[in-house]
């Protein structure tokens, strides 16, 4: 009877620990991905190197991320912590959309990780789609709401092009990361918000 009762307890323990082990393994893989992007960049990215560093099997990595670029995208976007803007100031509200990039690039090797992820998005279709979806949810959609409010108050013109507004807001960040290969300077987000509102002023 003792043996019969022990088996269900062992199974229950395994069920409880499984998700935690998976979560820890996933976090280790994403950490290793960031290290790999920092050391070798996207063009020399090695899944073998990630597997070794994370003590994970390549089968596990490919099961979770069939497209390697999407693993790089997740490693990068998990660094981009939301920066809620307080108050009605439109500059602060728009700057908050860009601030996660500024903070991430100025933290450790975040600029190298983001640069590698952007290159993956340019090279790999799946990563590009993932990046566009992330940008749509986290930058384009909230910017649309802010500009619509401002247009209703006649603080920006009504005939603005939303996609162009997004480009004006964030394209300098991509230039800085990909071409200048450097973190974004302190205050970059506020400067970009001020410039965008100046261009769109009614």
What's the CA gap between 103 and 83, in Å, rounded?
10
Contact assessment for residue 157 and residue 201, using Cβ atoms and an 8 Å cutoff: yes
Task: List, run by run, the mean pLDDT of 10-residue segments along the chain (202 residues).
Answer: 48 52 93 98 97 96 97 97 85 97 96 97 97 97 97 96 97 96 96 98 88
User: What is the per-residue pLDDT for 127?
Assistant: 98
User: What is the per-residue pLDDT for 20?
Assistant: 74
Give helix then strand counts, H and E, for the chain: 10, 0
User: What is the per-residue pLDDT for 42?
Assistant: 97
User: What is the per-residue pLDDT for 185?
Assistant: 95
Q: What is the largest CA-CA distance in the chain?
A: 81
Cα atoms found within 13 Å of the Cα of residue 85, Cβ hemisphere only: 20
Could you tell me the CA-to-CA distances from 157 to 84, 120, 141, 151, 177 in Å, in that order? 25, 36, 18, 6, 31
pTM over 0.75: yes
User: What is the per-residue pLDDT for 44?
Assistant: 97
Beta-ladder partners of 201: 156
49-72-102 Cα angle (round to 5): 120
Pick the CATH number of 77-200 from 1.20.1560.10, 1.20.910.10, 3.30.2130.10, 1.10.357.10: 1.10.357.10
User: What is the per-residue pLDDT for 15?
Assistant: 46
User: What is the per-residue pLDDT for 18?
Assistant: 61
User: What is the per-residue pLDDT for 85?
Assistant: 74
Torsion of CA 85, 89, 90, 93, to 10 degrees: 0
Contact assessment for residue 94 and residue 146, using Cβ atoms and an 8 Å cutoff: yes
Q: Where are the chain's structural domains?
A: 2-66, 77-200
Class of domain 2-66: mainly alpha
Contact assessment for residue 197 and residue 90, using Cβ atoms and an 8 Å cutoff: yes
Could you tell me the CA-to-CA distances from 154 to 109, 168, 195 in Å, in that order? 42, 20, 17
User: What is the per-residue pLDDT for 84?
Assistant: 81
């Amino acid at each position: 009877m003792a043996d019969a009762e022990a088996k269900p307890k062992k199974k229950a323990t395994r069920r409880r620990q499984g998700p935690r082990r998976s979560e820890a393994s996933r976090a280790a893989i994403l950490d290793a991905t960031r290290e790999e992007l920092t050391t070798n960049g996207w063009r020399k990215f090695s899944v073998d190197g990630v597997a070794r560093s994370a003590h994970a099997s390549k089968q596990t990595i490919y099961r979770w991320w069939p497209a390697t670029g999407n693993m790089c995208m997740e490693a990068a976007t998990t660094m981009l912590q939301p920066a809620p803007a307080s108050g009605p100031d439109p500059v602060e509200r728009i700057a908050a959309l860009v601030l996660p990039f500024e903070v991430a690039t100025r933290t450790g090797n975040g600029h190298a990780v983001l640069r590698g992820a952007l290159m993956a998005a340019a090279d790999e279709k799946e990563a590009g789609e993932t990046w566009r979806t992330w940008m749509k949810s986290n930058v384009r959609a909230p910017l649309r709401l802010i500009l619509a409010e401002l247009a209703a108050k006649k603080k920006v013109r009504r005939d603005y092009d939303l996609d162009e507004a997004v480009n004006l807001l964030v394209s300098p960040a991509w230039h800085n990361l990909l071409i200048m290969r450097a973190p974004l300077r302190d205050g970059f987000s506020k400067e970009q918000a001020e410039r965008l509102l100046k261009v769109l002023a009614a």
